[in-house]
A = this chain, B = another copy of it.
Amino acid sequence: MAPATTDDSRTKDRVKTSVDRASEIFTEKSLRFTDLRRKVFEEIASTQASVGAYEVLDRLAKKGTRLAPISVYRALDALLEAGVVHRLESKNAYFACSRLHQPGLGRRPIFLACEKCGNVLEGDGDDIFETIDKNARAQKFEPRVRFVEVTGTCHECATKHKE
Contacts and interface: CB of A to CB of B under 8 A. Distances in A.
- Identical chains bound together, number: 2
Contacts of A140: 154-155, 158
Contacts of A152: 136, 141-145
A65 interface: no
Interface in A122-163: 123-125, 127-128, 131-132, 135-136, 138-155, 158
A154 B142 CA distance: 6
Interface residues of A, number: 35
Interface of A: 89-90, 110, 112, 114-115, 121, 123-125, 127-128, 131-132, 135-136, 138-155, 158
Given A115-B144, A131-B131, A142-B158, 6 more contacts: A110-B136, A123-B141, A127-B135, A128-B132, A141-B152, A144-B153
30 contacts: A89-B149, A90-B147, A110-B135, A110-B136, A112-B139, A112-B141, A115-B144, A121-B139, A121-B141, A123-B141, A127-B135, A128-B132, A132-B148, A132-B150, A139-B155, A140-B155, A141-B150, A141-B152, A141-B153, A141-B155, A142-B152, A142-B153, A143-B150, A143-B151, A143-B152, A144-B152, A144-B153, A145-B150, A146-B149, A148-B148
